[in-house]
Amino acid sequence: MTEKRAKVVAHSNIALAKYWGKASVAENLPAVPSLSMTLDGMRTTTEVVFDAALAKDQAELGGVVLAGRPLERVVALLDRVRALSSCRLRARVVSSNDFPTASGLASSASGFAALALGATRALGLTLSSEEVSALARASSASAARSLFGGFVALGANAHQAEQVAPAAHWPLVMLVAVTTQSPKATGSTEGMQHTSRTSPYYPAWVEHAPRIYAEVRRAVLAKELGPLGLAMEHSALLMHASMIAAAPAVIYWSPITLAVMAQVRELRAAGTEAYFTMDAGPHVKVLTTQENALRVEQSLGVVPGVERVIWCGVGPDAHLVEAK
């Protein structure tokens, strides 16, 4: 057969306890433990076709052909998968997100998780989800977590993620407030490298992150939203403080980010449980219960500058759609 293909879906994830900084740059191992919630409302669909007719690997995302560094990262992952098999065929990768790519939300997490799963399944490799997670982690550490549904941990120095609890454990809602796009942000890989090299607060982040992670993990397992929300906010703010203290500063927030944070605090003061977190961009993700989600969604939607709010429940494992 001169063609081997698979089509897969992987869901995005948002870290409740953040990963920021590498223990090994060469192996892409995280310096701190992280724990995420997989999102049912944001997913990447990827088809990988290994084809004897191709002279080179090619990839497109949302109809845009990749070149330069983004293509190199795809080829590097395909090379790692080919090294595990006897296949030397080049591949065509066609990927799309069901969330707005242009908004700057397109995280590498669901993308590399889908690519790792799609490429291994296309070649018929029988790897465990943990082994596929390790392949995805080498490309982007947050992608290791997107192989699994529910609540997912990636330890410090860990090669692969592990599921802490399945989606059915706790039906929380993450509302993603998409803010007006600011000019090109620093990529997370570059931002964390710069933070670790230049921020006097980076050692403090690495020192305190494991304790916050332990509290996030405990609160997820105990289903205690109050303690979880506070630990989640602390993780995000400590991570952003380390970036802001870099030289020059890495600031992902816009005035709208701050306005959404203020809105969440007001909701809480008025008795609605809701908590924020932010990643390498200006958007704010707000964690709440199913009962409160509609009210929270409406109050985030009226903050000036919020373009839309994406509703995400807890998502499933990355999975195969079709193969042949």
In the complex, what is the shortest distance from the CB of residue 190 to ligand DP6, in angstroms, rounded to a whole number? 8
| Distance in angstroms (rounded) separating the CA atoms of residues 127 and 129 | 7
10 binds ligand DP6 (CB under 6 A): no
SS3 label, residue 73: helix
| Distance in angstroms (rounded) separating the CA atoms of residues 34 and 13 | 11
Range 287-316, binding ligand DP6 (CB under 6 A):
none
| Distance in angstroms (rounded) separating the CA atoms of residues 260 and 201 | 25
Torsion of CA 3, 7, 12, 13, to 10 degrees: -90
Range 22-41, binding ligand DP6 (CB under 6 A):
28, 34
In the complex, what is the shortest distance from the CB of residue 281 to ligand DP6, in angstroms, rounded to a whole number? 9
User: 73-102 mask for ligand DP6 (x: CB under 6 A)?
Assistant: ------------------------------
| Distance in angstroms (rounded) separating the CA atoms of residues 301 and 82 | 46
In the complex, what is the shortest distance from the CB of residue 54 to ligand DP6, in angstroms, rounded to a whole number? 26
* C-alpha torsion sign, points 290, 292, 164, 161: positive
Q: Which is nearer to ligand DP6, 34 or 163 (CB)?
A: 34
| Among 87, 33, 290, 260, residue whose Cα is nearest residue 174 | 290
Of the candidate spans 39-47, 137-145, 163-171, 255-263, the one that interacts with ligand DP6 by CB under 6 A turns out to be 137-145
Could you tell me the two tokens for 39? 């999102």
Among 44, 95, 142, 277, which residue interacts with ligand DP6 (rule: CB under 6 A)? 142
Q: List beta partners, residue 46.
A: 8, 95
Range 174-193, binding ligand DP6 (CB under 6 A):
188-189
In the complex, what is the shortest distance from the CB of residue 31 to ligand DP6, in angstroms, rounded to a whole number? 11
Binding-site ranges for ligand DP6 (CB under 6 A): 15, 18-20, 28, 34, 108, 140-142, 188-189, 279-280
